[in-house]
Chain A
Amino acid sequence: MAYSEKLVDHYENPRNVGSFDKGDDSVGTGLVGAPACGDVMKLQIKVSPEGLIEDAKFKTFGCGSAIASSSLVTEWVKGKSLDEAATIKNTDIAQHLALPPVKIHCSVLAEDAIKAAIADYKAKHGQS
């Protein structure tokens, strides 16, 4: 399968691989997917007191497209407010990485991961 240069670049040189302390109040963690389906994404955001995402990290078990999709969104969410980050669409991810049709679900998962991380952060802070 021929992948785009951007996708291969994110796979070969993934940005922001790693973990924050889940227990940290300023951290929101999203864990989506399932091992049986071949994709699990863990995406974490670190939110400043002003409500901006100042850092993001990911770990992904999945195909190259899944790794690239999660790497890309960690770049995209940085500097955004929670509301802005929540507007990232899977179609933007798929388009940016030129995902082949059978890999669109990877971008859907990445969108779910951001939403889950935001929801986790909000839950910690009594927001919904």
Chain B
Amino acid sequence: MADGNSDQIGGEVRPNIQLPIYLDYQATTPLDPRVLDAMMPYFTGKFGNPHSRSHSYGWDAEEAVEAAREQVAKLINADPREIIFTSGATESNNLAIKGAALFNKDRRNEIVTVVTEHKCVLDTCRHLEQEGFKVTYLPVKQNGLIDLDELRAAVTDKTVLVSVMAVNNEIGVIQPIAEIAKIAHEKGALFHTDCAQAVGKIPLDVGAMGIDLMSISGHKIYGPKGIGALYVRRKPRVRLVAQMNGGGQERGMRSGTLSPALCVGIGEACRIAREEMAAEAVRLDALAHRFYDKVKAKLPDVFLNGDETQRIPGNLNLSFAYVEGESLIMGIKDLAVSSGSACTSASLEPSYVLRALGVEEELAHTSIRFGFGRFTTEAEIDYAAETIIGRVSKLREMSPLWEMVQEGIDIKSIQWADH
């Protein structure tokens, strides 16, 4: 974007950058223009109901949906018949967890998951607790990864399902999925993984990794919002209780008329991801390092949350000690980022994910999630780094905590009042 598109102003090269710079790729991604092009015909001319059997409008729509299903399947090395279209990863997680748990409830009634899962997994598990299931919420280590021995101890022959996300949405760490699947299978449990943040970013192979159920989101991979998918293993067959009743579409697991345009969109998004993932990972890794190195060179006391190496390249969750997250976000309006401090919401509680890592509340309050993606440029990275460095320095100048630290006072030694 910036290349060959720079203005020379007063001897200083100022690349054209559109502000605010979007650095929240874990929240959502823009639609890739190629995806939009693929979708467009299915809104107007090819508007048929893919479930109509008696005319070409329906057949054309069905053909497009099935081609999309194949694209999704290919990305994770699945069979197209194992892909169920849903409204998004939240629905996929609900269907996978409730569906598998309820189908097997007479034989097994325990579920194992992790405290840093997405809210839709945790909330679904809480719901199942009310239905009589026993749920174990595994802790994570300081690097955000689970301890496999603790997992092994938690899975019993009463465990129906182990659900562990592949990539965490806040800190970007990658859990050892294949090993987790193996431990689940040793006790005859099913393995579900929320891959909303992993698909299209790291290679996934449902066969090689032993995944029984996998949730996929469209809008995290430059596809449209409002569509996701659930991979449901056929051999050996995983059976689910449908959570939506109706016309029996999607092999009876998810009734409701499919949107061919959205299906085509997620399919095209998966095709592009498969072709470009390897090169894109290298590019994003370089961008993330460039950003992190610049920031670290100018600012002391910056901490990376989550494992240093077991992570996707497009995520950096950083804590800036002695400044507060919301005031930082307020001062970096040119950057669209999200804060690990929930001060922007009503609860005033810092992120439960960072707390689970044992990040102290002080640091949890000062953390910012930087998400880089397909349309992030080097010029944007440089601008973002400078913005952050400038604002953190300014806020530290007015931070009483920073002042105390400079004076050699141990902040932890002070008796702070609760309020």
Contact = CB atoms under 8 A, between A and B. Distances in A.
Nearest to A71: B398
Contacts of A1: 344
Nearest to A8: B330
Contacts, number: 87
A42 B411 CA distance: 14
B327 A64 contact: yes
Interface string B204-237: 0000000000000000000000000000000000
Interface in A21-73: 31-42, 58-64, 66-67
A1 B418 CA distance: 26
B327 A11 contact: yes
B400 A64 contact: no
B382 interface: no
Contacts of A37: 348, 361, 418-419
Contacts of B400: 31, 40-42, 59-61
A79 interface: no
Nearest to A32: B417
Contacts of A91: none
Contacts of B281: none
Contact of B346 (A11, A31, A102): A102
A33 B365 contact: no
Interface hub of A32, A39, A59 (most chain B Cβ within 10 A)? A59
Contacts of B350: 38
A61 B417 contact: no
B386 to A, nearest CB: 18
A102 to B, nearest CB: 5
Interface stretch (B26-34, B103-111, B169-177, B318-326): B318-326
A98 interface: no
Given A35-B361, A38-B365, A105 B419 contact: yes
Interface string A57-95: 011111110110000000000000000000000000000
A74 B324 CA distance: 20
B324 A36 contact: no
Interface in B39-81: none
Interface residues of B, number: 30
A114 B10 CA distance: 47
A109 interface: yes
B361 A62 contact: no
A66 to B, nearest CB: 7
B327 A63 contact: yes
Given A62-B324, A63-B330, A102-B346, A36 B362 contact: yes
B343 interface: yes
Contact of B343 (A14, A17, A63): A63
A95 to B, nearest CB: 21
Contacts of A38: 324-326, 341, 343, 348, 350, 361, 365
Contact of B398 (A33, A67, A112): A67
A19 interface: yes
A62 B402 CA distance: 12
A35 B411 contact: yes
Contact of B399 (A36, A59, A109): A59
B140 interface: no
A126 B361 CA distance: 38
Given A33-B416, A59-B400, 13 more contacts: A11-B331, A19-B403, A32-B419, A34-B416, A35-B401, A36-B360, A36-B361, A42-B403, A59-B398, A61-B400, A66-B324, A102-B348, A105-B419
List of 8 A-B pairs having minimum Cβ-Cβ separation, nearest first: A34-B416, A42-B400, A63-B326, A36-B361, A35-B362, A59-B400, A64-B330, A38-B365
15 contacts: A11-B327, A19-B403, A32-B417, A35-B361, A35-B362, A35-B416, A37-B418, A38-B326, A38-B348, A38-B350, A58-B398, A59-B403, A63-B343, A105-B419, A109-B419
Interface of A: 1, 3, 11, 14, 17, 19, 31-42, 58-64, 66-67, 102, 105, 108-109, 112
